[in-house]
């Protein structure tokens, strides 16, 4: 295993970015600030709708639960992309990959780093949601485990796809690291059900693992049950997309080495 992945190098990648993250206010803001604003804004909106008496009393839990779970997707994706972009911005990509560090070690390092940051963010937001709206994330019970796993996988394969595109097209599409995730947001049915979407949007939604996770979330809130089939569909789609996105990123990385595109990124 040590010949395939050197965990000393992986640890070095993780620790270097953790030290940078702690000292960079922009990165801390990315991890906590905007997600907190979303929780506060949508929580207040849901509270207002509840007070008008024109909607289901569970609307607050629906909004807060949806936003909390969506943060998992968004942060998982961004934490895959930011280490690559940071090294590019700091003119460090060439230095990094002329060392014995291999792409798979870099990927594993970013995954571990992302999980560490995501854990802190979700705990922080869960506490905020509980203090402000008495929302307990554990209301989802056992379902929380497969939901979180699937949502993290969604963030990863989108992140790998974006990394591959950045390696291929360079800085021209670096904004994808923040903007691309919102392409799937309307079709993921985070707040509203898939049935509320027009036919063409439901067709797109059927290919997104997120839509099945959020449909199950609503089912738990409104009926107390969830669909095992939806979990399996979501997991199956995620595994397919993970493999394809990793193959794509590896291909783009190999081409970037051959065509000196890493030098241009640097």
Q: Tell me the pLDDT tens digit for each residue of 190-222.
A: 988 999 999 999 999 999 999 999 999 999 988
Q: Mean pLDDT lowest for which of 116-125, 154-163, 253-262?
A: 253-262
CB 214 within 8 A of CB 66: yes
pLDDT of residue 264: 67
CA distances from 185 to 16, 70, 132, 237 (A): 32, 9, 25, 17
Q: Residue 24: pLDDT above 90?
A: no
pLDDT of residue 67: 92
Question: What is the SS3 assignment for 13-77?
Answer: HHHHHHHHHHHCHHHHHHHHHHHHHHHHHHHHHHHHHHHHCCCCCCHHHHHHHHHHHHHHHHHHH
Query: Which residues lie below 8 Å from residue 87, measured CB to CB, with a gap of 6+?
Result: 93, 96
pLDDT of residue 74: 93
- pTM, two decimal places: 0.92
The per-residue pLDDT for range 39-97, each reduced to its tens digit, is 888 888 888 877 776 566 678 888 899 999 999 999 999 999 988 888 888 787 777 77
| Side-chain-facing half-sphere of 102: CA atoms under 13 Å | 10
What are the boundaries of each domain within the chain? Answer: 7-265
Q: Residue 1: pLDDT above 60?
A: no
* Average pLDDT of every residue of the chain: 88
The per-residue pLDDT for range 28-40, each reduced to its tens digit, is 777 778 888 888 8
CB 238 within 8 A of CB 154: yes
């Amino acid at each position: 295993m040590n010949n395939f992945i050197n965990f000393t190098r992986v640890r070095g990648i993780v620790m270097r970015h953790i030290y940078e993250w702690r000292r960079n206010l922009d990165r801390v803001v990315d991890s906590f600030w905007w997600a907190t604003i979303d929780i506060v804004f949508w929580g207040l909106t849901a509270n207002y709708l509840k007070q008008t008496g024109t909607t289901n009393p569970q609307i607050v839990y629906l909004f807060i639960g949806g936003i909390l779970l969506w943060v998992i997707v968004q942060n998982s994706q961004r934490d895959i992309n930011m280490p690559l972009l940071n090294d590019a911005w700091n003119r460090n990509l060439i230095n990094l990959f002329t060392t014995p560090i291999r792409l798979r070690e870099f990927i594993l390092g970013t995954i571990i780093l992302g999980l560490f940051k995501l854990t802190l963010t979700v705990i922080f937001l869960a506490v905020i949601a509980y203090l402000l709206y008495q929302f307990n994330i554990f209301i989802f019970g056992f379902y929380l485990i497969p939901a979180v796993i699937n949502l993290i996988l969604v963030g990863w394969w989108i992140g790998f796809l974006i990394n591959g595109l950045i390696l291929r097209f360079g800085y021209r599409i670096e904004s994808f690291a923040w903007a691309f995730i919102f392409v799937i947001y309307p079709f993921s049915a985070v707040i509203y059900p898939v049935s509320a979407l027009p036919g063409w949007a439901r067709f797109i939604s059927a290919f997104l693992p997120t839509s099945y996770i959020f449909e199950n979330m609503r089912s738990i809130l409104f009926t107390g049950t969830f669909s095992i089939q939806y979990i399996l569909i979501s997991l199956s789609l995620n595994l397919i997309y993970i493999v394809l996105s990793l193959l794509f990123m590896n291909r783009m990385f190999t081409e970037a080495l051959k065509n000196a595109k890493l030098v241009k990124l640097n």
